[in-house]
Homo-oligomer: A and B are copies of this chain.
Amino acid sequence: MTAGKPTSLTTANMSPPLVIDGLQYCRWTREVFLHMREGGIDAIHATIGYHELFREVVGNITAWNKLFAENSDLILHARSLSDIRQAQASARTAILFGLQNCSALEDDLGLVKICFDLGVRFMQISYNRQSLLASGCQEKNDSGLTRMGEQAIREMNRTGIVVDLSHASERSCLQALACSERPLAISHAIPSFWHKTARSVSDEVLTALKNNRGLLGLSLYPYHLKNHGDCSREDFCAMVARLAEKIGIDAIGIGSDLCYGQPDSVLAWMRQGRWNKPSREQEKQPSFPPQPPWFQDNRDFPTLHEGLLQAGFSTAETEKITGGNWARFFEHSFSPQNNTKQNNTKQNNTKEA
């Protein structure tokens, strides 16, 4: 940290700083899009599917296309950093598509390219439990990455879909980080050293992520926060400062995991999917916890920004955490791998920079 460093534009380029949220799964309505504008958010990675098979995800995309048409004054569908810049220039919020599980691939890796062509830019390799690609963080035995998982990571690398390790098991994370030829993301999680949950990120994974030039989006989902909804902004921002000392500022973004307006039945769907019958003690429906007072919804991004400044980050550092790092990450993640000589040179230059 270099508190007091003069204000600067993000290093990715000389355009105005971008505010980007690395994951949300709100009940998408015009109200939410208005909140995004009020909060000054230029882009979010929106979850468009969990346990849905491919054809069902297509149905979710057609629903999004309706939202884009009906709210074209507030949002647009982004496939690249350039689309996000276009959103910023027209005072709108760019929506990036992502999947929180790999069910949409069914058993066919040909669907990776198809998902990319439909605009999907993030895909998790598992969601809590075993998938065809990897063990999840709540699986009985952590068997890590499967053979199909290795191939899927290669195919996501090739096409330009970011491998997202949120909800994956420890071993899956480490093996995926070792296997991937491109930087990976953990779009929404918190470090174990601050608050240990089944899917907090261990020190070992943090180090591997740093070496991979990957990015961790910090979650503000109350079950992830120390003291849950009672977590103070100061405590959260002090954790960010500690994390920055550990892995460097460039590896940190926000991935709020905001689920604004979702009914509790959606939480049950996320957790149970299509086969996980709740045990007797779980039969009481789970419910979404209350957000901390300083991060209620998308309008509170400036509050978070302020908290980071108060924790001692400079303006330039804060701008990296609240969007600049995601922007740099997106710039080199969403184009096909080694597509042209030009791309190669560009990526190599970045690595050398």
A binding-site residues for B, Cβ under 8 Å: 54-55, 58-59, 61-63, 65-66, 108, 110-111, 113-114, 117-119
Partner of A62, one of B58, B66, B113, B119: B113
One complex includes copies of this chain to the number of 2
Q: Are A111 and B65 in contact (CB under 8 A)?
A: no
Q: Are B110 and A62 in contact (CB under 8 A)?
A: yes
Residues in B neighbouring A59, C-beta threshold 8 A: 108, 110
Q: Are B119 and A65 in contact (CB under 8 A)?
A: no
Bound-state Cα–Cα, A202 to B61, Å = 41
Chain B residue with the shortest CB-CB distance to A108: B62
Residues in B neighbouring A62, C-beta threshold 8 A: 108, 110-111, 113-114
Q: Are B65 and A58 in contact (CB under 8 A)?
A: no
Residues in B neighbouring A54, C-beta threshold 8 A: 55, 58
Partner of A65, one of B55, B113, B118: B113
Bound-state Cα–Cα, A311 to B70, Å = 54
Partner of A110, one of B65, B113, B114: B65
Bound-state Cα–Cα, A341 to B250, Å = 39
Bound-state Cα–Cα, A30 to B274, Å = 43
Q: How far is the CB of A53 from chain B (nearest CB, A)?
A: 9
Bound-state Cα–Cα, A114 to B58, Å = 8
Q: How far is the CB of A222 from chain B (nearest CB, A)?
A: 35
Partner of A58, one of B63, B66, B111: B111
Q: Are B118 and A114 in contact (CB under 8 A)?
A: yes
Residues in B neighbouring A117, C-beta threshold 8 A: 117-119
Given contact pairs A61-B114, A65-B110, enumerate 15 new A-B contacts (beta carbons under 8 Å).
Answer: A54-B55, A54-B58, A58-B114, A59-B108, A59-B110, A62-B110, A62-B111, A62-B113, A63-B110, A65-B113, A65-B114, A114-B118, A117-B117, A117-B118, A117-B119
Chain B residue with the shortest CB-CB distance to A114: B58
Residues in B neighbouring A65, C-beta threshold 8 A: 110, 113-114
Residues in B neighbouring A66, C-beta threshold 8 A: 110
Chain B residue with the shortest CB-CB distance to A53: B55
Bound-state Cα–Cα, A47 to B61, Å = 25
**CB-CB nearest 5 A-B residue pairs:** A62-B110, A55-B55, A65-B113, A117-B118, A58-B114
Residues in B neighbouring A113, C-beta threshold 8 A: 62, 65
Question: 6 interchain pairs (CB within 8 A)?
Answer: A54-B58, A62-B110, A62-B113, A62-B114, A63-B110, A114-B118
Bound-state Cα–Cα, A6 to B62, Å = 51
Q: How far is the CB of A106 from chain B (nearest CB, A)?
A: 10
Question: Which residue, of A54, A61, A110, has the highest number of chain B Cβ atoms within 10 A?
Answer: A110
Bound-state Cα–Cα, A201 to B283, Å = 66
Chain B residue with the shortest CB-CB distance to A77: B117
Bound-state Cα–Cα, A58 to B113, Å = 11
Bound-state Cα–Cα, A58 to B118, Å = 11
Chain B residue with the shortest CB-CB distance to A118: B117
Residues in B neighbouring A114, C-beta threshold 8 A: 58, 61-62, 65, 118
Q: How far is the CB of A311 from chain B (nearest CB, A)?
A: 42
Bound-state Cα–Cα, A16 to B114, Å = 33
Chain B residue with the shortest CB-CB distance to A109: B62
Residues in B neighbouring A108, C-beta threshold 8 A: 59, 62
Bound-state Cα–Cα, A108 to B59, Å = 9
Chain B residue with the shortest CB-CB distance to A111: B62
Q: How far is the CB of A1 from chain B (nearest CB, A)?
A: 43
